[in-house]
Amino acid sequence: MSSSSRPSRDVLHNLATQLRIDSVRSTSAAGSGHPTTCLSAADIVAALFFAEMRFDPADPQHPEADRFVLSKGHAAPILYAAWAAAGAFPRDEVLKLRSIGSDLEGHPTPRLPFVDVATGSLGQGLPAAIGIALNARRIESDYRTYALLGDGECAEGSVWEAAEVAAHERLDNLCAIVDVNGLGQSRATQYEHDTDSFVRRFEAFGWWARSIDGHDMGQILAALDEARKVSGRPALIAARTLKGKGLAAIEGKPGWHGKALKKGEETDKAIAELEAQYKDTGFPSQDGRKPGVLTPAIPKPARRRTESAPADFVAEMPAPSWALGDKVATREAFGPGLVALGGMDRRIVALDADVKNSTFSEAFEKFYPDRFIQSFIAEQAMVGVAMGLASRGAIPFPSTFACFLERASDFIRMAGISSLGVKLAGSHAGVSIGEDGPSQMALEDLAMARGVPNCTVLYPSDAVSAYRLVAAAAATPGPVYIRLGRPKTPVIYPSGETFPIGGSKTLRETSSDVVTVVAAGVTLFEALEAHDVLAKENVAIRVIDAYSVQPIDNATLVAAGRATGGRIITVEDHYAHGGLGDAVSEAVWDQAFRVKRLAVREIPRSGQPEELLDRFGISSKAIVAAVRELLA
């Protein structure tokens, strides 16, 4: 907003006062929540919503609107109060805060139309805001992105991962504000009111930064003006505030974190104290009294551009060129898969954490460098940025070694809560990576991904299925995880084969099968080998490729189990918990089958891949032994 068309400081002060009042009212009505952290942020939020940002309260998802991310998600009540004040919904709705029938939850989630990403796990808002700011570049929009952080949350490393990425990307359409109220949940923060410590840190990371009094509307507006003019760098405003500002008995006092005022006298007195702070700006209030609060006209976003129609990824994917029997690692198929998608739709973005030559995402960078984001070795930032991008319509594919995706597991959890279409790919799964040793082996990644109930989990075994499942990931709503392997495996599917989500492939099947073996990834080939060994002894086993681990193909598994005497073996290059064995066990729970799990059951070590498959009990030899055991 240009400074000339801005409402007066007194009007903004009154709006801040109204936000304070509504934050107290809503938390008191709920009987829980965080009023005091709302009160410290009220002047900043009022300035952003009513003197800075360009948006349409009636259409909060307008693609050209400025974005606001409340990284300090526990200040949700003031976010709701601000949108109510802007006219998005009636003010008294805030009194439904935290009740099961309302989307005004304890911490913001995208169930609300004006929330892009769920916050409440501290340190996630800034990475997401960076993704949102990068999306402006992708769609060539001049919208700006604002993130409000708590001071305590700046202890989270993800904030500094994000700071690095934003500076590297020279994101001058991003402005972060830290609400330095000096008080954490249980004690003073380590920074207390030293706003300069934030300025020093962010400057050292390459940001423009300045320190202000966060209750001085003039200083807030001036800093926002300056921040808007910064070129080639992201901007940081460290605002000195008081937790509980406006309530003399509470202001700046410890012991008030996450406590609602008591209903009745305590709340009534607080509201009266705040109401007395309204300045007479000539506006009548709703009941006709002066002084009152008038919401100023909010500048609308630019005209909506027409977007190209989305691609039908699965149908339009060009056929890959591998022939049956070619030896290709599934991770090697990931690159060409990404490149093919990138050519179909400009929404496809790839993100890397400095392993692009191992995951083969470098192929995408060669073709589409403007849609390739390098987060360097910062997995939380990579996934957080992807969350922000996904929230604004991009289809991001962050990839790294599967074990290092676990570094971002709390982000992946929050991506699930936000239902964001982040398409994660993790390479180098399992002990089959060999010599690098246990620190590089993902053996709990399926459990992590399956722990997000709305996450689709895919585990291809050959290059064709990997390539096709990359397209399926792009086409499937919500988060998706694709598990990729390091070793080369033979191509077993024709290039035109289809792999529906929730499906499976039965690769070996006779009417005399006595055991069903369910596998995916490298162990599928161990299962096929076990099949051949046992066939020589006239023992027939059914072999199923469970490329879709979540959802899993219940019907096929139940039918196979019934056909093979209720004997099922699962075999996975993963620990025994939360992975394929767990998925199959649950799928057939009511059948009274026996589901034996072959999986890694101890901390592994360095060695050659084949040695390790054998040593940790997931090789063809182990499968043959397990079949014999089940038949004994």
Residues 551-570 within binding reach of its own copies (CB under 8 A): 566
**Which residue among 70, 212, 383, 452 contacts its own copies (CB under 8 A)?**
452
Complex with its own copies: residue 184 or 521, whichever CB lies closer: 184
Cα of 590 vs its chain's centroid, Å: 34
226 among known catalytic residues: no
> Smallest distance from the beta carbon of 575 to its own copies, in angstroms?
6
Give the separation between CA 267 and CA 272, rounded to whole angstroms: 9
- DSSP assignment letter at 108: -
Token pair, residue 288, equals: 């006709």
576 touching its own copies, by CB under 8 A? yes
Question: Binding to its own copies (CB under 8 A): which residues in 453-482?
Answer: 453-454
Among 45, 595, 622, 624, binds its own copies (CB under 8 A): 595
Min separation Cβ 572 and its own copies, Å: 13
**Rounded to the nearest whole angstrom, what is the least distance from the CB of residue 207 to its own copies in the complex?**
11
Beta partners for residue 174, in sequence order = 145
Residue 410 interacts with its own copies (CB under 8 A)?
yes
Task: Mention every residue, 6+ apart, whose C-beta is less than 8 A from residue 207.
Answer: 163, 166, 167, 233, 234, 235, 236
Stretch that binds its own copies, among 40-48, 337-345, 385-393, 435-443 (CB under 8 A): 435-443
- For residue 90, the minimal CB distance to its own copies (Å) is 20
Distance from C-alpha of 132 to C-alpha of 126, rounded to nearest angstrom: 10
User: Which of 622, 565, 558, 564 is closest to 590 using CA atoms?
Assistant: 558
370 binds its own copies (CB under 8 A): no
Between 410 and 462, CB nearer to its own copies = 410
Half-sphere exposure of residue 5, counting CA atoms within 13 Å on the CB side?
A: 10
**Separation CA 350–CA 362 (nearest Å):** 9
Q: Can you list the pairs that 552-555 forms with residues at least 24 positions away whose Cβ atoms lie under 8 Å?
A: 552/502, 552/504, 552/583, 552/584, 552/587, 553/502, 553/503, 553/504, 553/587, 554/587, 554/588
Candidates 169, 332, 379, 444; catalytic one: 379
Of 557, 544, 546, 529, the residue nearest 624 (C-alpha):
529
Stretch that binds its own copies, among 235-243, 314-322, 385-393, 602-610 (CB under 8 A): 602-610
Q: Whole-number minimum distance, CB 371 to its own copies, in Å?
A: 17
Among 54, 62, 615, 621, binds its own copies (CB under 8 A): 615
Tell whether residue 310 is a contact of its own copies (CB under 8 A).
no
Nearer to its own copies, 51 or 420 (CB): 420
Q: Which of residues 71-110 bind its own copies (CB under 8 A)?
A: 73, 98-100, 102, 105-107, 109
Nearer to its own copies, 40 or 375 (CB): 375
Site for its own copies in 108-167 (CB under 8 A): 109, 111, 118-123, 152-153, 155-161, 164
582 binds its own copies (CB under 8 A): yes
Those residues with Cβ within 8 angstroms of residue 235's Cβ, 6 or more apart along the chain or in another chain: 172, 174, 175, 176, 207, 208, 209, 226, 227, 228
- If binding is defined by CB under 8 A, does position 285 make contact with its own copies? no
- Burial code of 124-160, b = ≥16 C-beta within 10 A, e = fewer? bbbbbbbbbbbbbebbebebbbbbbbbbbbbebebbb
Instruction: Please give the size of the binding site for its own copies, defined by CB under 8 A.
Output: 113
* For its own copies, the closer CB: 41 or 118: 118
Residues 203-262 that bind its own copies (CB under 8 A): 203-205
CA distance 595 to 552: 15
Q: Minimum distance from CB of 98 to its own copies (Å)? A: 4
Residues 330-369 touching its own copies, rule: CB under 8 A, are: 352, 354-358, 362
Residues 501-520 that bind its own copies (CB under 8 A): none
* Of residues 27-56, those binding its own copies (CB under 8 A): 30, 32-33
Taking the complex as a whole, how short is the minimal distance between the CB of residue 524 and its own copies, in angstroms? Answer: 21
Handedness of CA 443, 444, 447, 448 (dihedral sign): negative
Distance (Å, whole) CA 267 – CA 172:
42
Cα 548 to Cα 67: distance, rounded to the nearest angstrom: 36
CA separation, residue 531 to residues 114, 514, 526, 538, 582 (Å): 55, 11, 9, 10, 23
Distance CA 322, CA 281 (A): 73
The residue from 211, 330, 409, 476 that contacts its own copies (CB under 8 A) is 409
Find the helix packing angle between 620-631 and 522-535, rounded to 10°.
60
Does 605 bind its own copies (CB under 8 A)? Our answer is: yes
**Backbone region of residue 437 per phi and psi (left: phi > 0; alpha: psi in -120 to 50; beta: other values):** left
Choose between 439 and 511: whose C-beta lies nearer to its own copies: 439
Q: How far is the CB of 438 from its own copies (least distance, A)?
A: 5
Interacting residues of 223 by C-beta distance below 8 A, sequence separation 6+: 210, 212, 237, 239
**Residue 594 interacts with its own copies (CB under 8 A): yes or no:** yes
Select the span of 128-136, 415-423, 464-472, 533-541 touching its own copies (CB under 8 A).
Answer: 415-423
Q: How far is the CB of 534 from its own copies (least distance, A)?
A: 20
CB of 439 to its own copies, least distance (A): 3
Q: Is 301 in the site for its own copies (CB under 8 A)?
A: no
C-alpha to C-alpha distances, 196 to 185, 193, 242, nearest whole angstrom: 22, 9, 16
Per DSSP, 7 falls in state P
Instruction: List the interface residues with its own copies, window 182-201 (CB under 8 A).
Output: 184-187, 189-190, 197, 200-201
Residues with active-site annotation: 379
